[in-house]
Amino acid sequence: MKQILASLLVCALLAACGSGSNPFANTETDEVPDPGDETPDEEEPTTETPVTVPAGIAGDVTNVAYDAASGTLIVEGVSLDEVPYSATYRRAPGLDQDGYVAFTIQEDALDRHYTAYARESTNGSVRAGTVSSPGPRNRSLMGAHFERDGDYDPPEVTEDTGLVSYAGRYVAVTNGGDPNGSDLLPTGVTDPELLVSQALVVHGDAFINADFADNTVEGNIYNRELLDTDLNVISELPSVVLVITDIEANGTFAGTVEYDTRDPLSG
């Protein structure tokens, strides 16, 4: 069976549970450093180090500009989506998922079709987007982008605080597609080699545990379902886990995602 790769929108947009605030969000006030403080080593991340998207997550995407107020999405980097380098995608409300806002683009019936999802955090400080065009011609183009305003503001760690849980919904676009997708332009062409596909979507639940005393994090993505282009369930998918990894000084983290060995579907 062909493996389905998914581009994920999870950790940057998780809602806080119990703590009442999200320590991965920005601080509302800027602290003025003590003039006597040493300038930190530029190679070592600090709370002020800008957020950068790892190449393995960015994929073919160099930037995503999402404006929640105007409902617009501009994508840079992926090829063959629109003539300008910065392509403005179109809203596709029929594909919206669990608070994630859907966009698509297809210039011509035989051009690639792209599906994208974007979301902004409740306080407006974090934005993320993910994009996919499955095939044709043996190559899928896909990737993701996230950004945060301001500096990282971790919670205070005491004897009774510092271990925090986050829960939220999860959405992904995949490299699996449907040549009869609901958002595709009509072609009038019957040669299967020329038909393009619309990306299938995955959704589910996400849970993250973060330890701000040790600066580590781990988590689960579960209740995963593969959806067709009308958002009907095709099949259940194995749960996956984020293996324990370090939280960097600027609040970002990257690690290994594996199938959950306790899930019968992972066998």
Instruction: Please state the separation of Cα 39 from the chain's center in Å.
Output: 33
H/E segment holding residue 55: helix 55-58
Strand partners, 152: 26
Pairwise CA distance, residues 54 & 196, whole Å? 29
pLDDT at 43: 66
pLDDT at 91: 97
Strand partners, 216: 211, 246
pLDDT at 42: 52
pLDDT at 252: 82
Mean pLDDT by 10 residues, the chain (267 residues): 44 35 37 41 70 83 93 88 78 94 93 93 86 88 87 80 85 92 88 90 92 91 94 94 88 85 88
Return phi, psi of residue 55, to 5°.
-60, -35
pLDDT at 56: 81
pLDDT at 101: 95
